Amino acid sequence: MFSKPVPADSLYLAWAAAVFPLAAFGIIMIFLRRLPKAAAGVSLSAIAVSLVCAVCLLARHWHLEMPLESTVQWMASSDFEIPVGVLIDGLSLLMLVIVSGIAFLVQLYSIGYMAGDPGYARYFGFMSLFAWAMTSLVLAPNILQLFIFWELVGLSSYLLIGFWYEKLSASQAGKKAFVMTRAGDTLFFCGWLILLVWGGTVSILDLNHSAHSLSQAMVTASALLVFGGIAGKSAQFPLMTWLPDAMEGPAPVSALLHSATMVAAGVFLLGRLFPFFSQSDAAMTVCLFIGFVSMLLSATMAMVSRDIKQVWAYSTVSQLGFMIMALGAGGYAAGIFHLTTHAGFKALLFLCAGMLIHACETNDMFEIGQAGGRRMKLTVLCMTIGALALSGIWPFSGFFSKEEIMAALAAANSPVWYIGGLAGVFLTAYYSFRLIFVILLPGSTKAHGPGSQSGPEHARAVMHAVLVILAVITLVMGFFAESLQNLLTGQGVNAPGVHGPFPAKVVSPVLAIAGIVVAWLEFGRKDSARIGFAGRISPVARLFGQRWYLDHAYGWLVGRILDRGIAEGCQQNENRVIEKILHTVAGSVTACGRAAAGWHRAMIQSKLMVVFAVVFGLTLILLAA
């Protein structure tokens, strides 16, 4: 009723986009674990097929009147059916292209980046697993299918963060990521169970179109619970600290999963259920608020971090906060557009960071600067392009999407959001260019350049080519804003474009430039102290550096309350109460037995006496009866 069936050839394309990476995963894990080259080839060809399918689908359905949906029943349990299928509309097509495109580029880059790693085949296997899960996630026509693949991308994230499993910190980071997102996912699970059991449907289109027929309380409750899952996956406050730790994984993994695609799944879900969420003002306000808090908190954390990948990780959280704020303020197209541009430039930034880390063998930006990271000219140039886009400078893609977000925020119900957004814009520009200036204009450099560049020459060329492609995308993407908006809002989803007041168009770029200037004053000038304004006040620096003590809170919660509190209590109950009762029962049985045995322990004649006494007693009883 809200959709038309998918034409057969498009259906095959969509299935192919999802299933090829799965096949690659299976083949690699079963047959190709000892054949790294073949594994890389299989994985890359699978994702290339996905990309081609995705582009064909996009081209074919560029002008879509109505969402297309096809499902088959996968499993039934009388009251309840589990359908799987595909839903094709602007959002899923756009996401499909982003996911397969970035995944393809990142895998291409990984050929060089991961060269010589003992787990090369395993790496490509997990990458294929992720590609399968993520493509299926974006195509999901109902929340159940979405949830299944939502968990599976979490799984591949766990496996890839802990890819270098011999590093304890890496496997711990993987565990932290899984458990923290699991906490959110459990809320998500509750949320859709409410919809399924009391609302009667989990189909995304049904929910979006008939949310108003459900009771307001139910919509709010389930929307808030679903938002829990979004907060977990998109690393929003308070479930945000797993993402910086996830940087223990290889740099391409960070680029693909932890900036461009997987963490954006939360925003995608919010966009997917946007009309449903819009039914509840409370839920929308919570979105705005959580996005706002995460955006500012993580921006402050990025200001003091020295680890290059962590800065981009905090920045990812911050930008995801921007997107969620945009959606919360009603700017559907703005949020999704920012997701699109962000996927491009953040992947670029991470891949550049990977090049630098590989060459200088350190994650510390000051050390990279001193080791002469700026001599890698192409890398640094691309990184600067990415940072400009991130800060929102014309003509890079970030400018256009951020403008739309600011417009949406300006139109929101309270000026707080807009002012907070402006602060965010300033901080974003500041921390990005702090990093750029530290690397580009270090005080002193060592005589020799960065260490030997990894991999053979052609691999490096491929890596550079990937950087250039992403940089070009970053440069031109902004000019497609109009057509992307048409794609997104053309059908079904009814989200009016928001146009803010005129000053919004000027204020935020000015603030961004101000941020860059401050960063230059503090880190770029010849005789600057190279300490940021936040770093000068040590309690503030400590607060930011310790991530607002969020990790301490979680450590306390898990270590003290859960582990040594409740769990220990249960353990004590097990040992002291249940076992005690058990041993008391067993002891009393033994004691009874011992007492009875006492009759038979004396001299033979006493035993005989007992026998006689009992026989006499019984005889008397029988006679009396």
Partner 1 sequence: MELHAAQFPFLSTLLLFCIASLGLVLVLPKNSNTAVKWVSAVCSGATLALALFLFAAYDRELGGMQFVEQYRWIPALGISCIHGIDGFAAPMLLLTGIVFFTGVLTMWHLKHRVKEFFALFILLVTGVYGMFMALDLFFIFVWFDVSLLPMYLLIVIWGSTLREYGAMKLTLYLLFGSALILPGIVYLVSVSGLDTFSLPALAQKGVFSGFEQKVAFFLFYVGFGILAGVWPFHTWSPPGHVAAPTAVSMLHAGVLMKIGAFGILRVGMFLCPQGWVHWAPLMAVLATIGIVYGALVGLRQTDLKFVIGYSSVSHMGIVGLGFATMTVDGINGAVFQMFAHGVMTALFFSAVGHFYDQTHTRQIGELGGLCRVMPVAGSYFILAALAGIGVPCLASFWAELLVFIGAFRVYPVLAIISLGVLVINALFILRVVEKTCFGPMAVHWAHLQDVTFGMAIPRAVLAAAIVIFGLMPFLMYEVIQTATIPLINGLNSLAGQTAADSINTLLSQWMSRLP
Partner 2 sequence: MIVPYTHVMLLGGVLFLLGMICTLTRRNLIMIILGLEIMLNAAAITFVGAGLHLQQIEGQAIALFILAVAAAEVSVGLALVVCIYRQTGTVDPQCIEGNKCQLKPDQTG
Q: Identify whether the C-beta of residue 328 lies closer than 8 Å to the C-beta of residue 287.
A: yes
Which two tokens mark 84? 């799987």
**Residue 72 binds partner 1 (CB under 8 A):** no
Question: Binding partner of residue 612 among partner 1, partner 2, none, CB under 5 to 8 Å per kind?
Answer: partner 2
Give least dist CB 603 to partner 2, A.
Answer: 5
Q: Binding partner of residue 537 among partner 2, partner 1, none, CB under 5 to 8 Å per kind?
A: none
If DSSP codes are grouped into helix, strand and coil, which group holds residue 239?
coil
CA distance 131 to 490: 28
Alpha helix (H) residue ranges in 273-413: 274-278, 281-304, 308-328, 332-360, 365-370, 377-391, 397-410
Smaller CB distance to partner 2: residue 603 or 623? 603
Smaller CB separation from partner 1, 45 or 571: 571
Q: What are phi and psi of 204, to 5 degrees?
A: -65, -45
Q: Considering only residues 197, 510, 581, 608, which one is a binding residue for partner 2 as defined by CB under 8 A?
A: 608
Residue choice 12, 63, 66, 197 for contact with partner 1 (CB under 8 A): 197
| Kind and range of the H or E run holding 86 | strand 80-88
Q: Is 152 in the site for partner 1 (CB under 8 A)?
A: yes
Compare residues 8 and 603 and give the one whose CB is closer to partner 2: 603
Q: Which residues of 318-342 are buried (b: 16+ CB within 10 A; e: fewer)?
A: bbbbbbbbbbbbbbbbbbbbbbbbb
Does 603 bind partner 2 (CB under 8 A)? Our answer is: yes
Give CA–CA dist 24/43, Å, rounded: 6
Residue 579 interacting with partner 1 (CB under 8 A):
yes
**Residue 619 Cβ vs partner 2, minimum distance, rounded to whole Å:** 13
Single out the segment in contact with partner 2 by CB under 8 A; choices: 168-176, 212-220, 240-248, 600-608: 600-608
The CB density around residue 12, as the number of other CB atoms within 10 Å, is 13
CB of 616 to partner 2, least distance (A): 10
Rule CB under 8 A: say whether 612 interacts with partner 2.
Answer: yes
| Shortest distance in whole angstroms from residue 588 CB to partner 2 | 29
Per the CB < 8 A criterion, the answer to whether 427 and 304 are in contact is no
Q: Which stretch binds partner 2 (CB under 8 A): 38-46, 240-248, 534-542, 604-612?
A: 604-612
The position carrying tokens 């004590």 is: 572
Q: How many CB atoms lie within 10 A of CB 609?
A: 13
Residue 190 binds to partner 1 (criterion: CB under 8 A): yes
* C-alpha span between 119 and 183 (Å, rounded): 30
604 binds, among partner 2, partner 1, none (CB under 5 to 8 A by kind): partner 2
**Is there a contact between 159 and 126 (Cβ–Cβ < 8 Å)?**
yes
Distance CA 231, CA 243 (A): 12
Q: Is 623 in the site for partner 2 (CB under 8 A)?
A: no
Q: Does 620 bind partner 2 (CB under 8 A)?
A: no
Q: Dump the DSSP string for 545-578.
A: HTGGGHHHHHHIIIIIIIIIIIIHHHHHIIIIII
Q: CA 434 → CA 99, 364, 569, distances in Å?
A: 30, 13, 49
Kindly state whether residue 604 participates in binding partner 2, applying the rule CB under 8 A.
yes
Query: Least distance to partner 2 from the beta carbon of 593, Å?
Result: 21
From partner 1, partner 2, none, which one binds at residue 605 (CB under 5 to 8 Å depending on kind)?
A: partner 2
- Least Å distance, CB 606 to partner 2, is 8
* 80 part of the interface to partner 1, by CB under 8 A: yes
Q: Name the residues that contact partner 2, by CB under 8 A.
A: 603-605, 608-609, 612
**Contacting residues toward partner 1, per CB under 8 A:** 74-80, 147-149, 151-152, 155, 158, 162, 165-168, 170-172, 174-175, 178-179, 182-183, 185-186, 189-190, 193-194, 196-197, 558, 562-563, 566-568, 570-571, 574, 578-579, 582, 586
